[in-house]
Chains A and B, each alone.
Chain A
Amino acid sequence: SQKIEQNSEALNIQEGKTATLTCNYTNYSPAYLQWYRQDPGRGPVFLLLIRENEKEKRKERLKVTFDTTLKQSLFHITASQPADSATYLCALDMLDYKLSFGAGTTVTVRA
């Protein structure tokens, strides 16, 4: 069956450290993988997109990697800040007009 799994545990980190989130998938062949941020009571907000033929993408303090052999994406937040505290969702795009989301990982950054 198809599965998208993100870190099962919430992530608690100290301000200034790097948070690393994982997204593993089974029985999907995504052309693209996206990462979204969701704050409580709000809808998800798009952060980054990476294509299947790209290994790494960066945007400011965010970095995403994509390994189609391992069927895994890693999402890094460097020099983390309390304002980065949120739930982060990975989403797979198989070019069929829909996104398939993981359950998300909640990140809390302590000052």
Chain B
Amino acid sequence: DAGVTQSPTHLIKTRGQQVTLRCSPKSGHDTVSWYQQALGQGPQFIFQYYEEEERQRGNFPDRFSGHQFPNYSSELNVNALLLGDSALYLCASSYSLTDLAKNIQYFGAGTRLSVL
């Protein structure tokens, strides 16, 4: 059973560029969330996608946008990259029809983004 897969694993960009990160959820999952994790910090919630719509958003600027496809996979796009965007970007999936209380997230290994 494939878990959450993310691509690419590493990425180097320069300031002002745009980047797209990709995520395939765990088999059977229909909900995808994205988190940003700076070095030495916990993951920070960016947004969650369900039924191809953004259902909840964290405190991130509009430069961060996303998409969910009919097969539940997802993309995270970041425009006008800043040095401060350098971080590990984690994708997490879950299944919407479980007990809402069990908002257990299954994480991928992440994409390490370096902005120079």
Contact = CB atoms under 8 A, between A and B. Distances in A.
Interface of A: 4, 31-32, 34, 36, 41-46, 49, 51, 89, 91, 93, 95-104
Given A89-B42, A99-B45, A101-B43, A44 B107 contact: yes
Nearest to A102: B42
A96 B56 contact: yes
A103 B105 contact: no
Chain B, interface residues (CB within 8 Å), range: 20 to 34
Contacts of A101: 35, 42-44
Interface of B: 4, 33, 35, 40-45, 48, 55-56, 58, 90, 92, 100-110
A41 B109 contact: yes
A49 B45 contact: no
Given A42-B110, A89-B42, 19 more contacts: A32-B102, A41-B109, A43-B109, A43-B110, A44-B43, A51-B101, A93-B101, A93-B103, A95-B100, A97-B33, A97-B48, A97-B56, A98-B45, A98-B58, A99-B103, A99-B105, A100-B45, A103-B40, A103-B42
Contacts of A102: 42
A42 B108 CA distance: 7
Contacts of B56: 96-98
Nearest 9 interchain pairs by C-beta: A43-B107, A101-B42, A97-B56, A98-B45, A103-B42, A46-B104, A101-B43, A93-B103, A97-B48
